């Protein structure tokens, strides 16, 4: 089956050459067709020109709630980068899921407003973290009925208290506050402040956005498009975007240590083991990531290659799984057919 094209071919008329067309957001954009529909180089150049034009069009026409999405996605990317660096797998899983959801919503023609539960700050509200417990507490407050107390009972209690104080000799001693007896702080509020502080530190000490992982991946892909086929470039983009989504696009490339690669290798291995990813695809994904990291090293963007990429180590290998070859004997082959499919002379016992 031929590979689907990103652009549509428009044949020329009245002696004019044909061209490639892309319809996007109600407008059509045209690119040179070169020597014709079979001119592969012209097509690849047209695809690159379209991808560049698409970025310009998207930047010039922001979607509804675009600013809110940009802010929320940026926070989750920073959070994911912190989690990968400090091996916080539980929060990393939440960050990955929220990023995927927000990016999918933003890709729709009319993105909906971001809910509180899809923002990083919202993860520290009881109604988001544990809605069942929050509803239970709300029910208690709504159904609370204070015990009836008469005015006479209050007056009697005050009189007894005053009488007791009058019997005491000297002034009442001043009590020092006991921190152990104070009402404990809300743990979710403490967690919220910790994450706010982490984000402030990341924003202050982080590298410029053009130096983060996703930016370097974009630069790498742009350099490779000049050297490899369009199909190979698309595969590299698919593999590296998968890695960026897992690692966090805002991660500094200086943090791509051997531990990061080992954890990503483990993830791919588990996906192969659970049959959610083919072993050949996992091998290709890992090979693309290693090619990208080697590119960073060759351009002095990172000072050294992670040691797990040493050709003598087996740590990052993923073995291919071959399907079992089924062989048949004459008798076993016969058992795969019903005797009624054979001439009448065949005995039923042979099946």
Q: What is the pLDDT of residue 188?
A: 83
Residue with tokens 């080992």: 262
The rounded distance, in Å, linking the Cα atoms of 171 and 149 is 31
- CB-based contacts of 214, cutoff 8 Å, min separation 6: 244, 249, 250
Distance CA 224, CA 44 (A): 12
Distance in angstroms (rounded) separating the CA atoms of residues 108 and 115: 16
For residue 347, the model assigns a pLDDT of 42
Please tell me the distance from the alpha carbon of residue 306 to that of residue 141, in angstroms, as a whole number. Answer: 57
Give every CB contact of residue 50 below 8 A, 6+ residues apart in sequence: 6, 7, 20, 22, 29, 31
The Cα 148–Cα 135 span in angstroms is 27
3-state secondary structure the chain: CCCCCCCEEECCCCCCCCEEEEEECCEEEEEECCCCCCCHHHHHHHHHHHHHHHHHHHHHCCCCCHHHHHHHHHHHHHHHHHHHHHCCHHHHHHHHHHHHHHHHHHHCCCCCCCCHHHCCHHHHCHHHHCHHHHHHHHHHHHHCCCCCCCHHHHHHHHHHHHHHHHHCCCCCCCCCCCHHHCCCCCHHHHHHHHHHHHHHHHHHHCCCHHHEHHHHHHHHHHHHHCCCCHHHHHHHHHHHHHHHHHHCCCCEHHHCCHHHHHHHHHHHHHHHHCCCCCHHHHHHHHHHHHHHHHHHHHCCCCCCCCHHHCCCCCCCCCCCCCCCCCCCCHHHHHCCCCHHHCCCCCCHHHC
* C-alpha 152 chain-centroid distance: 65
Contact 7, 31 (CB under 8 A): yes
User: Is 224 in contact with 236 (CB distance < 8 Å)?
Assistant: yes
Token pair in block for residue 243: 């890695």
CA atoms of 34 and 36, how far apart (whole Å): 6
Domains, the chain: 8-46 (no CATH), 66-127+188-205 (no CATH), 209-305 (1.10.150)
Q: How far apart are CA 209 and CA 215, in angstroms?
A: 7
Span 240-261, pLDDT tens digits: 999 988 888 878 888 888 888 8
Q: CA torsion sign, 221 to 225 to 229 to 231?
A: positive
Specify the pTM. Answer: 0.55
C-alpha distance from residue 67 to each of 114, 155, 196, 224, 249 (Å): 11, 60, 20, 32, 18
Q: How does pLDDT run along the chain (351 residues), one tens digit per residue?
A: 345 688 999 988 777 889 999 998 888 999 998 888 889 889 988 988 998 888 888 777 778 888 899 889 888 888 888 888 888 888 988 998 998 899 889 888 889 999 998 999 988 888 777 777 667 666 776 776 666 777 777 778 777 777 776 676 565 566 566 655 555 567 888 888 888 888 887 776 555 455 688 889 989 998 888 888 888 888 999 999 999 888 888 788 888 888 888 888 888 988 888 888 888 899 999 999 999 999 999 998 888 888 888 766 667 777 665 544 555 555 554 454 444 444 444 444 443
Q: Which residues are paired to 8 by β-bridges?
A: 21
How far is it, in rounded angstroms, from Cα 92 to Cα 82?
Answer: 9
What confidence tens digit (pLDDT) does each residue in 296-348 have? 999 988 888 888 887 666 677 776 655 445 555 555 544 544 444 444 444 44
pLDDT of residue 186: 78
């Amino acid at each position: 089956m031929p590979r689907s094209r990103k652009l549509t071919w428009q044949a020329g008329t009245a002696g004019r050459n044909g061209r490639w067309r892309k319809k996007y957001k109600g407008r059509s954009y045209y690119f040179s067709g070169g020597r014709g529909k079979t001119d592969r180089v012209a097509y690849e150049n047209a695809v690159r020109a379209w991808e560049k034009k698409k970025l310009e069009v998207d930047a010039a026409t922001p979607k509804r709630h675009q600013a809110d999405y940009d802010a929320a996605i940026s926070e989750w990317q920073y959070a994911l980068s912190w989690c990968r660096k400090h091996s916080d797998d539980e929060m990393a899983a939440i960050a990955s899921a929220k990023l995927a959801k927000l990016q999918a919503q933003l890709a729709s023609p009319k993105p909906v407003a971001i809910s509180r539960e899809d923002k990083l700050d919202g993860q520290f509200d009881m109604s988001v973290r544990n809605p069942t417990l929050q509803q239970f507490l709300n029910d208690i407050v709504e159904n609370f009925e204070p015990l009836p107390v008469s005015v006479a009972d209050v007056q009697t209690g005050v009189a007894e208290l005053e009488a007791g104080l009058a019997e005491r000799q000297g002034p009442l001693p001043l009590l020092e506050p006991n921190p152990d007896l104070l009402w404990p702080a809300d743990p979710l509020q403490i967690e919220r402040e910790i994450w706010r502080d982490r984000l402030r530190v990341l924003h202050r000490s982080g590298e410029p956005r053009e130096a983060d992982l996703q930016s370097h991946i974009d630069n790498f892909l742009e350099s490779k498009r000049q050297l490899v086929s369009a199909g190979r470039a698309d595969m590299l983009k698919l593999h590296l975007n998968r890695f960026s989504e897992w690692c966090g696009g805002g991660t500094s490339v200086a943090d791509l240590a051997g531990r990061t690669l080992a954890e990503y290798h483990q993830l791919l291995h588990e996906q192969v083991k659970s049959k959610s990813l083919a072993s050949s695809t996992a091998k290709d994904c890992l090979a693309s990531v290693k090619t990208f990291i080697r590119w960073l090293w060759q351009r002095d963007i990172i000072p050294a290659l992670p040691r797990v990429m040493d050709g003598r180590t087996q740590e990052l290998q993923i073995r291919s799984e071959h399907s079992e070859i089924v062989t048949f004997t004459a008798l076993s082959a016969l058992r795969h057919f019903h005797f009624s499919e054979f001439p009448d002379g065949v005995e039923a016992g042979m099946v």
